[in-house]
């Protein structure tokens, strides 16, 4: 028996020793940090599957004494080629890229608006996830112009190389609420569910070509933010997808409202401003927090459904330029609360009406509250959420709670400042 056990253990060690047969050293790979997809010029995609693929690589070369890379070295890190899809393009690119190309560190997939509005777009993404290196947590950005230009014009600030730039950019933009959470996994899940809208981050590298006059800080989409200098890339607003195809856009303000109405998204502190109800010349700066879920109650009847929405937020006043006392004057607080509830309710109702009339379905994932009202999946599908939502009677109720008014100036100091 001892000989048998010894022979068995010795034979088992063979499997342990075979674990490194496919290992690759870091120096043997070229790591992609961003992928761009555009429609190819001169190719009819209805007759032939083709897409322009742009790869941006992480350059491991170190500069002497931390010097910035030369313009020539920057262009060497970005290549564009035409291929049937971006997974196939990886092997095609190795015909002139010396190292094995890897997607394992890729953080973002950038799609041109022109491509996102075609039928082939969903096919490209849904089949690409079969590749083991394409991560479902990859972030999606739809750009106003070409994706290749978005990548090439992007000049990361305070960074020599873009190794983690895209992740920092997306994390910060998502925290502000000005862009949605838009991962590849969320895109596929919502599209397969066939009942809700998917929102992707909307970006632009066009330097204020569509610039508008001054507006509130969140009423822009990418390409409209009034700025000078710095990185030309902007990330604000949402690209709206229905059944895997882009059909429109939302501003930064509308994106924030959507995130507050949707219980499937993670929300951080959001800073915004509203007109001062007691002095319309000035604005009141506030910090908005959502600590409780939005309550959605759907009631079915013979006709369209009734949807009651309770929209709870906590607000901390951080600046009052008019110098009006809201901190200790209870009467002023009531007027401020009434004004904020009215304005936020109006904004939410305007967005809901837009989704009903223009998009014919919603981005709030409210279909999750309608599904339990049916006994079978077949019964729910025959009822058709997308058919009934545009006709639904929706009532929004605001539930605002003040959590603070910041530091307050004493009355004597206020009078002195105003004088």
- 414 pLDDT band (50/70/90 cuts)? very low
Query: From the CA atom positions of the chain, what is the Rg in Å?
Result: 26
**Which domains, from first to last, does the chain contain?**
29-254 (no CATH), 269-419 (3.30.300.210)
Strands (E), 231-289: 234-242, 245-250, 270-275, 283-289
Look at 327 and 27; give whichever has higher pLDDT.
327
Say what percent of the chain tops pLDDT 90: 40
Q: Evaluate whether 155 touches 232 at the Cβ level (below 8 Å).
A: yes
Take residue 218 and report the two structure tokens written for it.
């969140």
Answer for the pair 319, 407: CB distance below 8 angstroms, yes or no: no
CA distance 346 to 359: 19
pLDDT tens-digit series, residues 389-410: 999 999 999 999 998 887 655 5
The per-residue pLDDT for range 308-337, each reduced to its tens digit, is 999 899 999 998 988 898 888 899 999 999
- Would strands 270-275 and 51-57 be described as parallel, antiparallel, or unpaired? unpaired
Provide CB contacts within 8 A for 304, sequence distance 6+.
388, 391, 392, 393
**Is pLDDT at 125 greater than 70 in this prediction?**
yes
Q: What is the DSSP letter of 327?
A: S
Tokens of 172: 């910060």
DSSP 8-55: HHHHHHHHHTTTTTT---GGGEEEEEEEEEEPPTT--TTTS--EEEEE
Sign of CA dihedral 14, 19, 22, 23: negative
Query: Which residue would you say has higher pLDDT here, 22 or 304?
Result: 304
Cα–Cα distance between 131 and 149 in angstroms, integer?
Answer: 26
Average pLDDT of the residues of the chain: 83
Longest dimension (CA), the chain: 101
Cα separations (Å) of 210 from 21, 116, 222, 225, 318? 54, 20, 9, 9, 32
More confident residue, 48 or 334: 334
């Amino acid at each position: 028996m001892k000989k048998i056990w010894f022979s068995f253990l010795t034979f088992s060690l063979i499997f342990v020793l075979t674990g490194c047969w496919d290992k690759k050293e870091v120096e043997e790979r070229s790591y992609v940090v961003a992928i761009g997809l555009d429609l190819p010029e001169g190719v009819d995609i209805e007759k032939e599957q083709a897409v322009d693929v742009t790869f941006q690589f992480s350059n491991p070369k170190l500069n002497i004494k931390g010097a910035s890379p030369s313009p020539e070295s920057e262009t060497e890190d970005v290549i564009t080629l035409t291929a049937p899809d971006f997974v196939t393009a990886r092997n095609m690119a190795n015909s002139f890229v010396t190292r094995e190309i890897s997607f394992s560190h890729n953080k973002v997939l950038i799609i041109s608006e022109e491509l996102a509005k075609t039928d082939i777009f969903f096919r490209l993404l849904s089949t690409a996830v079969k590749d083991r290196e394409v991560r479902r947590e990859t972030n999606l950005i739809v750009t106003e112009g070409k994706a290749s230009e978005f990548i090439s014009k992007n000049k990361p600030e305070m960074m020599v190389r873009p190794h983690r730039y895209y992740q920092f950019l997306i994390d910060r933009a998502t925290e502000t609420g000005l862009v949605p959470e838009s991962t590849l996994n969320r895109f596929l899940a919502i599209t397969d569910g066939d009942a809700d809208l998917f929102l992707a981050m909307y970006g632009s590298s066009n330097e204020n070509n569509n610039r508008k006059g001054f507006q509130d800080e969140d009423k822009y989409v990418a390409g409209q933010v009034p700025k000078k200098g710095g990185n030309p890339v902007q990330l604000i607003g949402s690209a709206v997808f229905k059944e895997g195809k882009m059909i429109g856009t939302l501003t930064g303000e509308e994106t924030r409202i959507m995130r507050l109405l949707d219980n499937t998204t993670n929300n951080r502190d959001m800073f915004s401003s509203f007109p001062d109800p007691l002095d319309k010349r000035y604005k009141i700066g506030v910090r908005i927090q959502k600590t409780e879920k939005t309550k959605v109650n759907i009631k079915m009847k013979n006709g369209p459904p009734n949807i009651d929405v309770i929209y709870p937020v906590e607000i901390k006043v951080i600046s009052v330029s008019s110098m009006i006392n809201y901190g200790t004057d209870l009467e002023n607080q009531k007027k401020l609360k009434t004004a904020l509830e009215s304005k936020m309710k109006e904004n939410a109702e305007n967005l809901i009406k837009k989704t009903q009339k223009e998009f014919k379905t919603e981005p709030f994932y409210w279909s999750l509250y309608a599904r339990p009202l049916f006994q079978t999946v077949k019964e729910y599908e025959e009822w058709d959420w997308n058919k009934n939502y545009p006709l639904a009677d929706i009532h929004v109720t605001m539930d605002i709670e003040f959590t603070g008014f910041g530091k307050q100036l004493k009355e004597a100091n206020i009078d002195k400042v105003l004088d």
